[in-house]
A and B are shown apart, each in its own frame.
Chain A
Amino acid sequence: MNPMTDLGLRFVRRPGPGGRAANLAALGATAIVALLLTFLIAGSLGLAQRSDRVGWRSTDEGTADGAVGILKEVRGKQLNGDPLTVIQLQSLKPSNQPPPGLDHVPAPGEVFVSPEVAKQWSGLKGEYGVDKPTGVITDKGLASPEELVVVQGVAKIDSNYPNYVGSWVNDTKDDRVYALLIAVAFGIILVLFPLLSLVGQAAGVAAKRREHRLAALRLAGSTRAQVLWLSSVEQAVLGFAGAVVGLIGYVVLTPLIALIPLGGGRWYVSDITPNWWTVPLVLVAVPVLSVISALIGLGRVSITPLGVVRGQTRKATSAFRLVLLLIGPIMLATLGMGAAIVPLLIAIGFGALAVRIIGPWAVQMIGKIMANTSNGPVPLLAGRRLADDPKGAFRPVAALVLSGFVTGFISVFIPGGDSDPTTQDMRIGVALLLGLVFLTVAASTAAGAVGTALDQAKPAKALRRAGVPLSVIERSARLAAVTPVLGVGLPVVGFGALCGLALSGGQVFTQGNTGILLLIGQVVVGLVLVAVAGTAGSPVLRKASAN
């Protein structure tokens, strides 16, 4: 075996003082990445499967030539106060393939119902002309276990624009599911940044621990390639272990995830169970991303090992980056506002980019102000820490920028009344998205807090010996972890909401849109989550700085 591979594996097995905590934090964060990645893939595939089962109901691609029948959705029906989907079906010629979930094509007068409708059959009071249903639609023809559906065979459908069906088995996407699939694709893009950031943070925790060791190896004569290979081996093992834990976690949580009422009710567990290729994909993608992130983070070691060993001062964040903010407005002015969507997307993109660019600078400013105006040791320590490494402090929040802005925007901008199914779907989707983003940011914050705790262990030990209470050290670490989220992340979500409010013409207030309440509730819960995550470094700091 390559000696560096051997050494890397040995470091994983025996990580040294503080290393176990770092490895566990990295493993936990990677597991969350794997869990969310699996959720996004399996959820998207689940939506597609659901669409395949019910797509035939909304097909409109058939022509009179060769059509097997005609369909019509009767709108506005209800069962015991809940919306009821009623599909009328007229068979034009015999077909060997009945619609999914039905054992034969309903003849005129026959009525097939979903299990939930069968349970509440008496509530329909003979509306469909039969005492009891002809048959019950199986899972293969339902979007959700609780879906309320009636499929009624009729002799003739009267319509000026008959909806001809070429085949009863049709994978046409249901309109509602189709809209959701687009939303999910959009959501995946938004969650991707936080996820990549979390991978980086997770890799960074273990990498910080390794920095000095690797720098020592470099100074002892190891080549850059050898040091990077050793890190890759370590991170790949941790990433793989995290991916396995994340996949197991997803499987355990599947019954709970199936309860999320997105896109027309609860889910069949089978819909959101990872398929055969999702598992190897996650098991490969997560370690690969971890290794790439770790290698990027170790650039400093491989380039300036002496700087790491001596703990040289980091370069200050340049105010020059503010100049970059001008690029967005200049591009907008050049492109003009002719095609509404393009300038809007550019504006959103540059808005997010702007926050990413000025974020570290803003964190540095907040840190300096906090330290210079502090009258106690806690804000002094936290402020100086933020000012010393604003990029590191901003990293977990960077994940929140684009997704936080867009989520804030959409949650206020969502049109229509609250009872509209599409609006409800979007609202649940936004809630889910914001939940995922905050979960990711919280995991990033926790991983960052552990990394900082390990960095601070030695001086913290000296401070404790000199009589500084542990609570002061812990509170300052917590404050340093939470301040960037409050100081930069929260205004970004608010700014997004403000833009949504402006572009929707203030309909939040005129149409009773509950989006703003949902947003506020989620942001509060999310911030509490992030604040709790900020305490993740405390036990590590306590242990590492103990006498």
Chain B
Amino acid sequence: MSFQSPQLAPQVVLSGHGLVKYYGNVVGLAGVDVGVRSGEALAVMGPSGNGKTTLLHVLAGILTPDQGEVWLGGERVDNLNDAARTVLRRRRLGFVFQDNQLLAELPADENVALPLMVDGLSRRDAIGRARNMLAQVGLAQEAGRRPGELSGGQAQRVAIARALVGEPQVVFADEPTGALDAATGSQVIDLLIGAATYRGAAVVVVTHDNSVAARCHRVLTIVDGRVSESMGAAR
């Protein structure tokens, strides 16, 4: 399945300014400035333990920075309380993790529908939207199957559907192809970036994989909690 990005005005939808994060005495982020535009895919690379995932968590409101600010769609979000950040993550952001993290007891359509139901949508409407989303990622036939009955690539596509079903402004992905073989990983990352940017959402991908980074519009390299390099990718 292929998607073509619409011609959208390139607005910065998510930005972090002077982000600093400590874990006790250990520096996680040492003053990072970053911005990502609607419909843009940003890869965050760098050695292990140098702050990539911390940056993703701070931008996504999972962690709060010790210094600096995070802005989403013109609204400062780092100073929101935990409950407000939870709602923000559910309604305006999407997440894809390395090993899909789907609920084993729920079939694919209910896994995708769950965030919508948490947000108050009726079961009927939530399942309808979930199945529609699954069809868009090529899993219409697998809607009633549980994660244990799906291949790794299929499960990751369900996770992408779950991340996109709420029509988020930004999708965060933490090593989304880490548990997949090269060919399946390529398909999954193409699907993630294609489907998200087609909807005008920004994508922030933390990855070690150069082939994943090559599919993004820009690459940000983090070393020792600082941005060491920022460049446009070969896309």
A residues with CB within 8 A of B? 310-313, 371, 374-377, 380-381, 384-385, 387-389, 458-459, 461-469, 472, 547
Contact = CB atoms under 8 A, between A and B. Distances in A.
Contacts of B118: 377, 467-469, 472
Contacts of A312: 148
Interface in B148-184: 148-149, 162-163
A467 B86 contact: yes
Contacts of B89: 465-467
Report, nearest first, the 7 A-B pairs whose CB atoms are least far apart: A467-B90, A462-B101, A467-B89, A388-B105, A384-B105, A313-B148, A377-B117
B63 A547 contact: yes
A380 B117 contact: yes
A467 B60 CA distance: 10
A385 B105 contact: yes
B102 interface: yes
A313 B60 CA distance: 33
B114 to A, nearest CB: 6
Nearest to B110: A380
B123 A375 contact: yes
Contacts of B115: 466-468
B146 A313 contact: yes
Nearest to B113: A380
Contacts of B103: 381, 384, 459, 463
Interface in B95-113: 95, 97, 101-106, 110
Contacts of A462: 95, 97, 101
Contact of A467 (B93, B102, B105, B117): B93
A99 B211 CA distance: 96
B83 interface: yes
Contacts of A463: 101, 103, 114
A458 B57 contact: no
B149 A313 contact: yes
Nearest to B63: A547
A468 B120 CA distance: 12
Contact of A310 (B146, B148, B162): B148
Nearest to B106: A384
Contacts of A388: 104-105
Contacts of A384: 103, 105-106, 110
Given A459-B101, A468-B114, A472-B118, A311 B90 contact: no
Contact of A459 (B63, B95, B104): B104
6 contacts: A313-B104, A380-B114, A466-B90, A467-B91, A467-B118, A469-B118
Contact of B148 (A311, A376, A387): A311
A380 B86 contact: no
A458 B104 CA distance: 11
Given A464-B86, A466-B89, A472-B118, 17 more contacts: A310-B148, A374-B123, A376-B117, A377-B118, A384-B103, A461-B101, A463-B114, A465-B97, A466-B94, A466-B163, A467-B88, A467-B91, A467-B93, A468-B86, A468-B114, A469-B118, A547-B57
A307 to B, nearest CB: 10
A346 to B, nearest CB: 38
A468 B60 CA distance: 14
Contacts of A377: 114, 117-118
A387 B107 CA distance: 12
B123 A469 contact: no
B62 A465 contact: yes
A388 B148 CA distance: 12
B8 interface: no
Interface string B71-89: 0000000000001001111
Contacts of B91: 467
A387 B114 CA distance: 17
Nearest to A462: B101
Contacts of B110: 371, 380, 384
A311 B150 CA distance: 12
A462 B173 CA distance: 12
B122 interface: yes
Nearest to B99: A458
Contacts of B86: 464, 467-469
A465 B148 contact: no
A442 B56 CA distance: 42
B104 A311 contact: yes
B126 to A, nearest CB: 9
Contacts of B101: 458-459, 461-463
- Which residue, B87, B102, B110, B149, has most C-beta atoms of chain A within 10 A? B110
Contacts of B94: 466
Contacts of B146: 313
Nearest to B120: A376
A385 B117 CA distance: 17
A458 B118 CA distance: 19
Contacts of B88: 467
A385 B105 CA distance: 6
A313 B97 CA distance: 21
A466 B95 contact: yes
Nearest to B85: A467
Nearest to B101: A462
Contacts of A387: 105
B192 to A, nearest CB: 15
